[in-house]
Amino acid sequence: MADEDPNTEPTLVERWLEEQREWQKTTLAYLDSMVRNEEFLTHLGNAMRGSLLAGKPYPTPVPPAASAPESDSADRLDQILFALRELQGQVADLRMTLDELIAKQDGQDGKEQQDP
Partner 1 sequence: MSVVPEDRELESLIELSRQSRAKLERLHEVLTTPGHYGAGATPARVVYRENKLRLLRLVDSAGEPRNGPPVLFIPAPVSRYFILDLLPGRSFAGHVAAAGFDVYIADFGVPTREDRFCDLAYYVDGLIRRSVRTIRRTSGASEVGIVGYCLGGTLALLYSALYPETVARLALLTTTVDGDVEGGISWIAHRMGLEGESYERPRLVPAIEVKSWFEMLAPGSNSVLGRVADLWDRLDDSPERLRAVRTMASWVDDVVPAPGRLLAEMYRQFGPGRNGLMNGEATVGGRGVDLDNVTMPVLSVSAARDTISPPEGVDAIQSIVPQAEIVRLRGGHVGIVAGRAAAGLWPRVVEFLGDENAAEPCADG
> Cβ 115 to partner 1, closest distance in Å?
23
Q: Which is nearer to partner 1, 30 or 108 (CB)?
A: 30
Closest CA to 44 of 57, 28, 25, 26: 57
Positions that interact with partner 1 (CB under 8 A) = 12-13, 15-16, 19, 22-23, 26, 29-30, 33, 37, 40, 43-44, 46-56, 58-62, 66-70, 75, 78-79, 81-82, 85-86, 88-89, 92-93, 96, 99-100
Secondary structure (3-state) at 96 = helix
Radius of gyration (Cα) for the chain, nearest Å?
34
Secondary structure (3-state) at 62 = coil
Q: Which is nearer to partner 1, 6 or 61 (CB)?
A: 61
Secondary structure (3-state) at 30 = helix
